[in-house]
Amino acid sequence: MNDRNYLVALYSFLPFGPQRIKLLKKYFGSYKSAWKADYKKLIEIGLAKKTVEGFVTHKQEFAFNNYFSQLKRQKIDFVTIDDSNYPENLFELDDAPAVLYIKGKIKANDTNAVAIVGSRKMTSYGREVTERFATELASMGVTIVSGLAFGIDVCAHKSSLAVGGRCIAVLASGVDMITPRSNQWLGDEIVKKGGAIVSEFPIGTIPQKAFFPHRNRIISGLSKAVIVIEGMIKSGTLHTASHAANQGRTVFAVPGQITSPMSGAPHYLIQNGAKMATSVSDILNELNLQLKVDKDAVEKVMPSDKTEKQILEVLETEEMHMDEIARTSGISVNQVSAKLTMMELKGLVRNMGGGIYKVV
C-alpha cells in the first residue's frame, strides 16, 4: 500500500475532515505514519479521547485489500488532493475534500461547469425554467452540476443528457449508494453518457441529514457559478448558495411568482445581492466564460443543418418570439431555445430581448 492508499483509509474515518487530515499529514510527515500512530501518540497531539477510540476501532475493522478490491470491482475511481488530476475548481477551496470518489469520468473541460439547484417540490414553472437553462448551457459545452435529488436536480440532469450534454451528480452518500433508489437509472445514464457521479464519502456510506451541507459545498465548489431555481426560504438550496458565496462563486437566482412559496429562496437571494438571471445570456455575460464548445455535443443536439435552416426561414420576413418560432416550425420550444443560443453565438440571429429574435 502506498501513501495515497493510506490517505484514502484515513479519510474513510468520517470524523477526520479535510482540515484534520492536513494537520495529521503535517505532524506525522506522511499519511502512512498517521494511520499507524498508536493511541498514546494520537492523544498527545490533542485529539479527543472519543475520537481516538473511534479511530482505533475503525483501523481494526478497515480491511485494506477488500476495500480497494471493491472499488476496482465496482469500477469506482478516486482522486486525492495531492494528485495532479484533482478537479481544478475544487482544489481552490480551503476545505476541499482530501479524497473524491468518482464513478464515470471527470474531464479537464469540466472547469466550465455551472450548478443548477432548487426545490425537491418543483412546480411546472420550475420545470420549464430548469429545462431551458440546462438545455442551453449543456448544448454549449457547459457541464451541469447538481445533486441527483428529486425536483430541480433531476430535471437539470435529465435536460442536460437529453441534448447530449455532460453532467456531474454529487452525492451525500457513497457513490455506490444512490438514493432515492428510483434515481439509480439516472445515475447510470449519467455515467453511460460520459459524465460522473462523485462523493467524498467512502463506499457503503448511507446518506444522513448532516452529510448534505458537505455535499452542497462540493456542488458549488466544482462550479463556476450556482443558479438557484425555486426553493422555500428555509431550505438546503440556501445552504448551497451560501457555500457558493463563501467560495467566491457567483450566485444567480431566477425570479418566480411572488405568490409561490417556492419563490422564497431565489427572491431572498436577489434581495441580498445575488444576480438575477432571466436567460442564459445573463450567466455568460457575467462570468465571461471562454467556452470551448464540444462540437460532438452540438452535433447531437442539432444532428443536421435542417433545424437551423427551418428557424432562419421562419425569421426571414419578421422578428418573432421563440414560442412562436416553435409553433410555426413544429420544433420543440426547448430545442428552439438551445438552437437560437448557438445561432446567436455564430452571429446568425440576434436576441432583441424578451425572447424575441431576428435574423442578423
My answer on whether 247 and 332 are in the same domain is: no
How many domains would you assign to the chain?
3
My answer on whether 115 and 250 are in the same domain is: yes
pLDDT band at 291 (very low <50, low <70, confident <90, very high): very low
Q: Is the pLDDT of residue 284 over 90?
A: no
pLDDT digits over 53-77, tens only?
A: 999 999 999 999 999 999 999 999 9
My answer on whether 50 and 117 are in the same domain is: no
Q: What is the CATH number of the domain that holds 355?
A: 1.10.10.10
Cβ 18 vs Cβ 82: under 8 Å: no
My answer on whether 8 and 140 are in the same domain is: no
What SS3 class is residue 18?
helix
My answer on whether 319 and 348 are in the same domain is: yes
pLDDT digits over 267-277, tens only?
A: 999 999 889 99
pLDDT digits over 318-347, tens only?
A: 899 999 999 998 898 888 888 888 788 767
Q: What is the model's pLDDT at position 296?
A: 43
Domain contains 90:
no
Domain contains 347:
yes
Domain contains 86:
no
CA distance 207 to 249: 26
My answer on whether 206 and 57 are in the same domain is: no
My answer on whether 257 and 343 are in the same domain is: no
My answer on whether 120 and 174 are in the same domain is: yes
My answer on whether 263 and 347 are in the same domain is: no
Domain that holds residue 35: 1-73
My answer on whether 138 and 187 are in the same domain is: yes
Domain contains 231:
yes
CA distance 223 to 198: 14
